[in-house]
């Protein structure tokens, strides 16, 4: 349990802590819950204990621990899927963004990335 001065501070603490299980029991608990960004599972109000989620409500029981709810979710079907990014620019589209790519590659000290764009337009 963490004692805070007000709801705003409470939300900040909750998001920083990124708890596996978060119970919100305050006035307008649903509105507060809607503002939480980092939690494995949020239990809203006096009649939504963690054990309800663990045993009966049908929510996920395999949740991120140790603050990892700040960047990950509970186990779900997408855990077992793999995304593939497909990028397909034509010459005009690449030319339109080429200066940005070269600038970013220079800023990151990755000249090969910029060169990969420049060579496509060399002598054109």
**Which residues belong to the active site?**
20-21
Helices of type H across 18-110: 29-35, 50-55, 91-107
Is residue 105 within 8 A of residue 113, CB to CB? The reply is yes
**Which residues, other chains included, contact 122 with Cβ-Cβ below 8 Å and sequence gap of 6+?**
none
Count H helices and E strands in the chain, helices first.
5, 2
Encoded tokens for 32: 């507060």
């Amino acid at each position: 349990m963490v004692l805070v001065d007000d709801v705003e501070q409470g939300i900040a603490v909750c998001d920083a802590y990124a708890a596996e299980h978060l119970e919100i029991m305050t006035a307008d608990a649903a509105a507060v819950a809607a503002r939480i960004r980092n939690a494995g599972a949020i239990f809203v109000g006096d009649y939504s204990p963690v054990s309800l989620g663990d045993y009966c409500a049908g929510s996920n029981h395999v949740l991120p621990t140790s603050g990892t709810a700040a960047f990950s979710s509970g186990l779900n079907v997408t855990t077992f899927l793999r995304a593939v990014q497909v990028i397909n620019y034509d010459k005009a589209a690449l030319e339109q963004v080429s200066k940005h790519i070269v600038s970013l590659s220079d800023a990151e000290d990755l000249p090969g990335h910029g060169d990969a764009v420049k060579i496509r337009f060399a002598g054109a």
